[in-house]
Amino acid sequence: MKGLADTSHSVNYNMNPTLSLIVPVFNGSRWLEPCLRSIQQQTYTDFECIVIDDASRDNSEAILKKYCSADPRFRFLQHINNQGAAYAKRTGIMAARGQYVLCIDQDDWIESSMVEQLYAKAQLTHADMVYCHYLEESYGETIPLYQDPVDSNKETTIKDILSWGSYFPALWNKLTRTSLLRDIYFPKATYSEDRAIISQVINAINNSAGVAEHLYHWRDEPTSTSRSAKRDLQNIIDDYQCYTTIIQALALDNRTGLRTFETSVLAHLDKLASQFPGNHNIINSYRLSVSKIIQHLSGNENSSNFLEEEIRSSIAKFKSQNAWNFSKHIRRSGYFIYSKMRPASIRKLFHRIRGSN
């Protein structure tokens, strides 16, 4: 696989494990070892653990290689360039040898019986996906949270996911049949990526089952509370790419029924706007673009050229509007009053921002 290095070990290793556990890693050295230890301590042992270093710049690679050297069930894969969390999961899934896959985030950990319980339920029910409840670990507080089941009408659950409803769209508390995951498109994004993946999973599964126990520990401790216009813009672009991915996947399955999902897609944009205030012009452009895409895909089978150009031009427009937002913020803050008093290089920057609008 281009851009990928494989340094897996094969000593005393079952080349056909029943399950594949996948841990995508990017600069995760702070919490990585508790995660990997919890995997080593599983009561069910017929698994491989594929760890993917997504071009980390910290000590993650050394930690991962240490575990791979000590435990033959661990396989080390590495992206030469950073690809994002979703694509790192895809790398692991494409390399998986197990019948089922469980993805685990680098800063989380799992109960010692999680793998055993989920797989036992899968065997009992022949389910394509088995979920469990989870615990939110936030600054020393443990909060039990519950995963909703998939509705008997899968379309209802997909609409709930699209509108940011009550269904929690994480991949990490769901054991999923490997063959289904390999047919799913994974966007190169780090925001809303699980929403894009789970929507496609639920659309593809025949049945699902649940284990009514809290077996996954989700560490919800943001590394920083700082916000930036650049980060907000990238999150909006990621969300846009994830939602256009979902729309395309739904169109392939049911082109004529695609319009029934439009309300749910548009409903989440109001919540996105409240999460990233000051970007209403970008959100409005986003809204117009997805409506245009849904309308086009509902009536056209050959849409690849249209989609490629629409997505490219929309992202370019978002970036242009973001520059305008920044310029407007500067003017409102009164910086332009003092621009002549600033060094020449700063004045040039201000003139360039204002001139681009």
The distance in angstroms from the start CA to the end CA of the chain is: 43
Q: How many domains does the chain have?
A: 2
CATH number of the domain enclosing 27: 3.90.550.10
Length of the chain counted residue by residue? 357
DSSP bridge pairs for 198: none
Average pLDDT over the chain, rounded to an integer: 87
> Do 214 and 237 share a domain, yes or no?
no
Q: Within a domain: residue 355?
A: no
User: Rounded to an integer, what is the distance from CA 58 to the centroid of its chain?
Assistant: 21
**Residues 244, 198 within the same domain:** no
Which of 219, 239, 268 finishes a domain? 219
Q: Are 163 and 275 found together in one domain?
A: no
Q: Which residue has the higher pLDDT, 356 or 18?
A: 18
Q: Does residue 207 sit in the same domain as residue 234?
A: no
Residue 130 CB neighbour total at 10 angstroms: 26
Is pLDDT at 222 greater than 70 in this prediction? no
> Binning pLDDT at 50, 70 and 90, where does residue 224 land?
very low
Query: Which residue carries 């409005």 as its tokens?
Result: 284
List Cα–Cα distances, 197 to 24, 123, 194, in angstroms: 15, 23, 5
Is 342 within a domain?
A: no
Query: In this predicted model, which residue has the larger pLDDT, 328 or 252?
Result: 252
What is the percentage of the chain residues whose pLDDT exceeds 70? 84
Establish if 339 belongs to a structural domain. no
pLDDT for position 269: 95
Note whether 209 and 249 are same-domain residues.
Answer: no
In this structure, are 149 and 271 located in the same domain?
no
**Shared-domain flag, residues 158 and 127:** yes
Whether 70 has a pLDDT exceeding 60, the answer reads yes
DSSP character for 265? H
For 185, counting Cβ atoms within 10 Å of its Cβ (0-12 exposed, 13-18 middle, 19+ buried), the class is middle
Taking the C-alpha atoms of residue 175 and residue 211, their distance in angstroms, rounded to an integer, is: 11
- Convert the pLDDT of each residue in 133-192 to its tens digit: 999 999 889 999 999 999 999 999 999 999 999 999 999 999 999 999 999 988 888 888
> Which of 189, 219, 249 corresponds to the end of one domain?
219
User: 350 lies in a domain?
Assistant: no
d(CA 356, CA 320): 9
- Please give the residue range of the domain that contains residue 279: 229-332
Of 161, 186, 219, the position where a domain reaches its end is 219
> Same domain, yes or no, for 117 and 52?
yes
Higher-scoring residue by pLDDT: 345, 156: 156
pLDDT for the residue numbered 324: 60
